[in-house]
């Protein structure tokens, strides 16, 4: 329906948006990593479900994805890598992900969403990333238009920190929202 050019533009927007969403979330020790674990776990389940419910030969009546079990293995591997990283990235962090890690995690999430054909579901699964990104957009837009801030600081996890919540409380509550 989109055509070749439309698909390339859509994929670009998906990858750029998801990468930047994870990058914006990577402001507290373990926040982006823990949330990514949950989203990749969802894609493990989605891949297994798609593999078990494939219906070859029923053109137009199925929601087919190519090699869903392989995608589930990739999602499981990245989820495991994030768990290993989280061991050392939990507050107080001994190692940091940085832009390279967070942008690549977001890009991989977008890639898996595109290949499993669950692009719109990614908005729900990665809802915390969407909230973090929207908080920055609202803050910048409000400041440029009205010269007023909506949050004490953006992304929104820093707003709660400046409101007196300890870092670990913000992280755990945001993980609960992500679940």
Can you give the pTM of this predicted structure?
0.92
Per-residue model confidence (pLDDT) at position 1: 66
Per-residue model confidence (pLDDT) at position 71: 96
Length of the chain: 179
Per-residue model confidence (pLDDT) at position 54: 77
Give the pLDDT confidence of 13-28 residue by residue, as tens digits.
999 999 999 999 999 9
Neighbour tally for 40: CB within 10 Å: 25
Of 133, 172, 164, 138, the closest CA to residue 14 belongs to 133
Per-residue model confidence (pLDDT) at position 61: 64
Of 147, 149, 123, 117, the closest CA to residue 136 belongs to 149
Tokens of 142: 């409000």
Residue numbers in the chain where pLDDT is lower than 50: none
User: Distance between CA atoms of 100 and 98, rounded to whole angstroms?
Assistant: 6
Of 133, 123, 134, the closest CA to residue 42 belongs to 123
Give the pLDDT confidence of 167-176 residue by residue, as tens digits.
999 999 999 9
């Amino acid at each position: 329906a989109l055509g070749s050019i439309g698909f390339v533009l859509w994929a670009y927007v998906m990858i750029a948006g998801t990468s930047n969403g994870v990058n914006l979330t990577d402001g507290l020790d373990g926040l982006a990593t823990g949330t990514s674990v949950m989203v990749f776990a969802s894609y493990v389940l989605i891949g297994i479900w798609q593999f078990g419910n494939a219906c070859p030969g029923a053109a137009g009546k199925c929601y087919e994805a190519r090699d869903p079990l392989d995608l589930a293995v990739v999602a499981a591997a990245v989820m495991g890598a994030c768990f290993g990283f989280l061991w050392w990235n939990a507050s107080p962090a001994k190692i940091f992900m940085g832009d390279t890690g967070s942008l690549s995690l977001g890009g991989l999430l977008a890639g898996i969403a595109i290949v499993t054909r669950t692009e719109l579901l990614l908005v729900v699964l990665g809802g915390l990333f969407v909230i973090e990104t929207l908080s920055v957009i609202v803050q910048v837009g409000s400041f440029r238009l009205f010269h007023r801030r909506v949050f004490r600081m953006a992304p929104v996890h820093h707003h709660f920190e400046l409101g007196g919540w300890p870092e670990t409380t913000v992280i755990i509550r945001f993980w609960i929202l992500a679940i």
